Amino acid sequence: MSLTEAKQNPDTRERILDAAESLFVEFGFEATSMRQITGRAGVNLASINYHFGSKEALIQEVFRRRLTWLNRERLNALERFEKEAQGAPLKPHQIVEAFFGVSLRMAADTEHGGHTFMRLLGRTYTEPSAFVRQFLADEYAAVVPRFKQALFRSLPDVPPEEILWRFHFMLGAMSYAIAGTDALQLVAEHELDEKDPGALARRLMPFLLGGLRAPLAEASAKPREKGPRRAI
């Protein structure tokens, strides 16, 4: 030991996961090599395969370690509202708050990597890789049906199919809002207040609710001019 005092190991696993998470956001799964990860983590190349088994397993663990908590938190929030409502249908804004509010609060946490992870998660919804998609589907299996049911009860006059589409649209808007800071630069050169982490939530939630509760399109052709009146 003598000279190298840095050799005590806080937790190799955690350091690998943190390094991988940030590199995946930066370069994507495929473009990030195991040598980059171990390099940033300051550990030996072989330790990834030793601790996780393979790169693929590492990717899954990067997600699992945060996603399990995130989804439980979402369910907790929903159940809290449901207990409050005593059997009555929830308000749409409560359901949106339970699902997206939790995500946005995690995305606002820049201290413990929550922001990094949410960027990664948002990008991953469109990830081509089959095993990542399968993994996400499994992780969401317990959450999505609960929120679907809550939305169906909350909006009894909207066809369930329409609700699913709009849930999908909301997911997209949020994912991009978090993941696509790069795409945002495309729209606004430099004028936005990205500093405040809570700003995103304050801006996104009204948008999501406005979209979710928008009037339905006529069944026939595309809506002609003189659409339904709206404030603002």
Partner DNA sequence: GCTCGTTTCAAACGACCGTTTGAATGATAC
Partner DNA sequence: GTATCATTCAAACGGTCGTTTGAAACGAGC
Residues 37 to 76 in contact with DNA, rule: CB under 7 A: 43-51, 54-56
Partner whose binding site includes residue 51, from DNA, a copy of itself, none (CB under 5 to 8 Å by kind): DNA
Cβ atoms of 104 and 174 closer than 8 Å = yes
b or e along 156-189 (b: 16 or more beta carbons within 10 Å of the residue's beta carbon)? eebeeeebeebbeebbeebbbbbbeeeeeeeeee
Contacting DNA (CB under 7 A), which of 14, 33, 88, 168?
Answer: 33
Rounded to whole angstroms, the Cα distance separating 131 from 218 reads: 39
Site string (4-23) toward DNA, x via CB under 7 A: ---xxx--x-----------
Q: Provide the 3-class DSSP secondary structure of residue 34.
A: helix
Q: Which among 35-43, 151-159, 184-192, 206-214 is the span making contact with DNA, rule CB under 7 A?
A: 35-43
Query: Could you tell me which of 66, 92, 98 has the C-alpha nearest to residue 79?
Result: 98
Closest to DNA by CB, 4 or 220: 4
> Interface with a copy of itself includes 192 (CB under 8 A)?
yes
Query: What dihedral angle (degrees, nearest 10) is formed by the CA atoms of 79, 83, 84, 85?
Result: 100
Which residues 152-171 are close enough to bind a copy of itself by CB under 8 A? Answer: 155, 157-158, 160-162, 164-171
> Interface with a copy of itself includes 35 (CB under 8 A)?
no
How many residues touch DNA (CB under 7 A)? 22
Rounded to whole angstroms, the Cα distance separating 95 from 90 reads: 7
Closest to a copy of itself by CB, 13 or 66: 66
> Interface with a copy of itself includes 205 (CB under 8 A)?
yes
In the complex, minimum distance from the CB of residue 190 to a copy of itself, in angstroms, rounded to a whole number: 11
Partner whose binding site includes residue 99, from DNA, a copy of itself, none (CB under 5 to 8 Å by kind): none
> Interface with DNA includes 129 (CB under 7 A)?
no
Q: Which residues have CB under 8 Å from 79's CB, separation 6+?
A: none
Closest to DNA by CB, 120 or 170: 120
b or e along 73-91 (b: 16 or more beta carbons within 10 Å of the residue's beta carbon)? bbbebbeebbeeeeeebbe
Closest to a copy of itself by CB, 69 or 131: 131
Rounded to whole angstroms, the Cα distance separating 204 from 10 reads: 39
Task: State whether the Cα torsion 97-151-79-91 is positive or negative.
Answer: positive
Binding site residues, DNA, CB under 7 A: 1, 7-9, 12, 32-36, 43-51, 54-56
